[in-house]
Amino acid sequence: MRKKVSIKDVADALGVSKTLVSFVLNNKTEKHGINAETRQRVLDKIKEMNYSPNQAARGLRTGKSNAVGLIIADIANPFYSRIARSIEDQARKKGYQLLICSSDEIAEREIELIQLLSDTGQVEGIIISTTQSDAKMLGAIYKDNFPIVLIDRYFEESGIPTVIVNNEEGAYSAVEKLITNGMKRIGMLTISPSFISSVRDRVKGYKKALKENNMKFDKKLLREIPFDNLRDSVRKEVMELLSPPNKADAIFLANNNLAVAAIEVINEMGLRIPNDVALVSFDDIELFQLTQPGITAVSQPIEQMGKEAFYMLERQINGEEENKPGRVVLETELKVRRSCGSVMKP
């Protein structure tokens, strides 16, 4: 194998002790009153010998891995990959590595991943968009003082620090837009499992918008799509929604995956958006500004979510508990494009 210069090699080459080199390495020279000149000699030698400290050894000794974990459904999903990028930037800035793991929304796999990361000491904390149905597991780990931050999805009473957006409000604004634009039968595609808080809140917002506009909620217009058979299921449900007796004139999609699949079906059916069916989706992915017509979508402040989440995690790692971060709720923004029809519609 390759390079193997250790702290001892540097110390020997210099005729000093490992301690001294270590002090220099960790900026502890001031504290110990080391000569600036000595310090420089060490620094030079380190560079000359191209030494860098072994992470495993350092981690073993200090109990810190300088890494944090991110567990999401799928790194190939643009929503999560953008979240990941944002967290990666924050983490690197603070000298942390990021370990990204995809759970595919499988609860047991997620548990395995959490244990893999936490029990082995591979990471000092985890940011997770969880697919657990309740707070039991994560709550226990958190109580046990392992740093955790929930992102995108939360549990009501867990006390685990959380970053989410105002999903209900976002959904509400989306559906209200459709109503304003004259839509009368607004369907919604949501995703199961239905205990996922973000999705649940989007359904709430949908219902609230209907109610406040004196439109009665027709449960035949609300369809739940299983995560693991998304495409086929969307095809079936969209077709049903658009045909008699349902005859929806608009559909609100609970996330980008659903929207992508729905657009596909609608295209295939030869229907026009928004004339035959108006569309609004949650998650504003790049695609939505490029389709013709553009897709109206609820945009989430992804950058900021990642930033807040990492900050919350960092506080826990550093034991700054007094100033407890609690739950951060960020606002969404409705990006209006042509897919939602227009007020001019007859």
Residues in contact with a second copy by the rule CB under 8 A: 1-3, 50, 52-57, 59-60, 63, 65, 67, 74-78, 81-82, 84-85, 88-89, 92, 97-102, 115, 118-122, 141, 144-146, 260, 263-264, 267, 286-287, 289-292
Size of the site for DNA (CB under 7 A): 28
- Phi first, then psi: give them for residue 48, nearest 5 degrees: -60, -45
| Among DNA, a second copy, none, residue 8 binds (CB under 5-8 Å by kind) | DNA
Instruction: Determine, following the binding rule CB under 7 A, whether residue 25 of this chain makes contact with DNA.
Output: yes
Residue 310 structure tokens = 């990492």
Tracing tokens 């270590």 back to the chain, one arrives at 22
**Sheet containing 333-335, strands listed edge to edge, beginning at the edge strand earlier in sequence:** 222-226, 186-192, 250-253, 278-282, 296-299, 333-335
Residue 66 structure tokens = 């300088």
Q: Is 176 helix (H, G, I), strand (E, B) or coil?
A: helix
Contact yes or no for 243/223 (Cβ under 8 A): no
**From candidates 32, 94, 143, 324, binder to DNA by CB under 7 A:** 32
Contact yes or no for 255/174 (Cβ under 8 A): no
Element (H, E) at 320: none
Judged by beta carbon, residue 215 or residue 271, the one nearer a second copy is 271
Instruction: Determine, following the binding rule CB under 7 A, whether residue 6 of this chain makes contact with DNA.
Output: yes
Contact yes or no for 115/140 (Cβ under 8 A): no
Single out the residue of 179, 171, 174 nearest to residue 214, CA to CA. 179
Instruction: Determine, following the binding rule CB under 7 A, whether residue 19 of this chain makes contact with DNA.
Output: yes
Judged by beta carbon, residue 51 or residue 155, the one nearer DNA is 51
**From candidates 2, 3, 4, 216, binder to DNA by CB under 7 A:** 4
Site string for DNA, 282-301 (x = CB under 7 A): --------------------
Instruction: Determine, following the binding rule CB under 7 A, whether residue 97 of this chain makes contact with DNA.
Output: no
Enter the DSSP assignment of 258: H
Strands 250-253, 222-226: pairing is: unpaired
Instruction: Determine, following the binding rule CB under 7 A, whether residue 62 of this chain makes contact with DNA.
Output: yes
**From candidates 43, 49, 58, 336, binder to DNA by CB under 7 A:** 58
**From candidates 1, 13, 16, 85, binder to DNA by CB under 7 A:** 16
- Cis, bond preceding 53 (omega within 30 deg of 0): no
| Among DNA, a second copy, none, residue 133 binds (CB under 5-8 Å by kind) | none
Instruction: Determine, following the binding rule CB under 7 A, whether residue 22 of this chain makes contact with DNA.
Output: yes
In Å, how far from its chain's centre is CA 167? 14
**Binding region for DNA (CB under 7 A):** 4, 6-8, 15-20, 22-23, 25-26, 28, 32-35, 38, 51, 53-54, 57-58, 60-62
